[in-house]
Amino acid sequence: MPSGLVALALGGFGIGLTEFLIAGLLPQVASSFTVSEAAAGWLISGYALSVAVGAIALTAATARLPRKQVLLGLVALFVVGNLLSAIAPNYPVMLLGRIVAALCHGSFFGIGSLVARSLVAPEKKSQAVAIMFAGLTVANVLGVPFGALVGERWGWRAAFWAVTAIGVLALAGIAALVPAWAGRVRPATATDPAPGRSATGAGGTNPVLPRSATSTGGADPLPSRSATGTGGAAFDPAPLQPAAEAGEPDPAPPSGLRAQVRAFRSWQVWLTLTATALSYGGMFGAFSYIAYTFTEVSGFAPADVAWLLMVYGVGLVVGNLVGGRAADRDRDRALVLALAGLTLTLALFGLLAGSATASVVLVFVMGVTGFASVPGMITRVTDYAHGAALAASANVSASNVGNALGAWLGGLAITAGLGYTSPLYVGAGIALLATVVMVIAARQARSPQVADRAPTP
């Protein structure tokens, strides 16, 4: 494993801790600044809004800069934000620190995923992205208990000092271990696998989604500009792949805001972003209210919720790593199966939530299936976007939109008096929509006639 991936994972771990640890520190922070619980809650919601804005704005603003330099700048911003939180003399400065730290979140994972995949051979690109995201998933497991433990023993400021130190280590690691050329890509050739298929897949046959009759011989089945005629009716969807050999510098990716925006002419980019938003919406439609399901339906005590959430977090870690490996074998098939698995898991959870044993098993499987699609979605959107960093960051923004949508719809179900299992069924319905969108995207990708037409103006 390239050492640069370890540095990226450490950065992801620090950013994940910053996002999650505040939940365990909120009462202390509110008391320290003498603000209400509702006001303190803006330290969470303000962070989320800043992630959504920063993902697009910072990626667009840095489109022409080398990606290693951008990552270093983003991590430096992360350090400054957490330092502000650690030394904040009042609540407004604390909130400012949270907003500054959050600005780098989406761009780090968007640009970082492109850097990660460039460090390995093409057939391992999803696994490389999964390793980077492993830092985030581990932080999901440890974030809340870490914040609560450190805050209880040394005060809430100590937790932010610790995260600041992790940011400094990540900054040094990226500077020393990530090569200057990382993130550059080359155009796909006829010997490259088509998007969603591994170069090492046996036989190349997809048992879920049929191959196009024209995709034999290893050629990319997607249409090129010459195949569709002049006039710009279709956007050339041939993806940009990472270097064939890790450590090989390649031509620069699309640069400049106009070139980055052109990537969004691809239908496949939009379908993938939609599937991402819906998949997160399904998972968070259920997860946002899972504590109520545990205590009001499954019969657990409130004190049990912490370890149950850790079980879910372990599932995220497993799903991330398994999903990355599966996506490198046959990406579109892996994505369809992951989303279908999430749909089935949430529906079963709703039916069996009254059983404590079933709830423990299913919350773990929910974590596995919920995050198994993440590495594949990221490499898919960046393939069809020709390696455009803006599309990778848009994928992060899409996930945040999905989070908000799912939580809102799940809350509506509870408000309507449908009970504390209703968010699970709402999540299953949203995940089913994600599965349908992914099947449509995968089938179109196999058809040379409609694989990736530009949206009609």
- Residue 99 CA to residue 209 CA, distance in Å, equals 43
Helix segments in 194-304, DSSP class H = 225-228, 257-262, 267-287, 290-292
Per the CB < 8 A criterion, the answer to whether 108 and 395 are in contact is no
Helix, strand or coil for residue 419?
Answer: coil
**C-alpha torsion sign, points 438, 139, 420, 48:** negative
Q: Given this model, what pLDDT does residue 120 score?
A: 82
Please give the structure tokens belonging to residue 381. Answer: 């959107």
Tens of pLDDT, residues 346-380: 999 999 999 999 999 999 999 999 989 988 898 89
Per the CB < 8 A criterion, the answer to whether 377 and 371 are in contact is no
- Residue 274 CA to residue 270 CA, distance in Å, equals 6
- CB-based burial label for 5 (10 Å; 0-12, 13-18, 19+): buried
pLDDT tens per residue across all 457 residues of the chain? 778 888 999 999 999 888 878 877 777 888 889 887 667 778 877 887 788 788 878 877 877 788 888 899 999 999 999 999 999 999 999 999 999 998 888 888 888 888 888 888 877 878 888 888 888 888 877 776 777 778 778 988 999 999 999 999 999 999 998 888 876 643 343 334 444 444 444 433 333 343 333 333 333 333 333 333 333 333 333 333 333 344 444 444 555 567 677 777 788 999 999 999 999 899 988 887 888 899 889 999 887 877 888 898 889 989 988 998 898 889 999 999 999 999 999 999 999 999 999 999 999 999 999 989 988 898 898 888 876 777 777 888 888 788 778 888 888 888 889 999 999 999 999 999 999 999 999 998 887 655 554 333 3
- Residue 358 CA to residue 350 CA, distance in Å, equals 10
- CB-based burial label for 101 (10 Å; 0-12, 13-18, 19+): buried
Task: Supply the Cα-derived Rg of the chain in whole angstroms.
Answer: 22
318: nearest Cα among 364, 250, 266: 364
* All domains of the chain in start order, with CATH: 1-178 (1.20.1250.20), 253-457 (1.20.1250.20)
Q: Given this model, what pLDDT does residue 232 score?
A: 37
- Residue 282 CA to residue 136 CA, distance in Å, equals 19
For 300-361, give the DSSP string: --GGGHHHHHHHHHHHHHHHHHHHHHHHHHHHHHHHHHHHHHHHHHHHHHHHHTT-HHHHHH
Tens of pLDDT, residues 166-215: 999 999 999 998 888 876 643 343 334 444 444 444 433 333 343 333 33
**Cα separation values, 35 from 22, 26, 154, 382, Å:** 15, 11, 21, 43
Per the CB < 8 A criterion, the answer to whether 164 and 17 are in contact is no
Amino acid at site 155: G
Residue 241 has φ and ψ, to the nearest 5°, of -105, 155
- CB-based burial label for 301 (10 Å; 0-12, 13-18, 19+): exposed
Q: Which residue has the tokens 């604390």?
A: 94
Q: What is the distance of C-alpha 79 from the center of its chain?
A: 21
Ramachandran class of 379: left when φ > 0, alpha when ψ lies in -120 to 50, beta otherwise: alpha
- Residue 54 CA to residue 224 CA, distance in Å, equals 33
Q: Given this model, what pLDDT does residue 334 score?
A: 94
Q: Given this model, what pLDDT does residue 118 score?
A: 82
Q: Given this model, what pLDDT does residue 435 score?
A: 97
Q: How many CB atoms lie within 10 A of CB 457?
A: 3
Give the pTM: 0.69
For 128-194, give the DSSP string: HHHHHHHHHHHHHHHHHHHHHHHHHHH-HHHHHHHHHHHHHHHHHHHHHHS-TTTT--EE--TTSPP
Q: H or E element: which one contains 251? A: none
Using alpha carbons only, what angle is made at residue 57 by residues 251 and 282, rounded to the nearest 5 degrees? 100
Residue 383 has φ and ψ, to the nearest 5°, of -60, -50
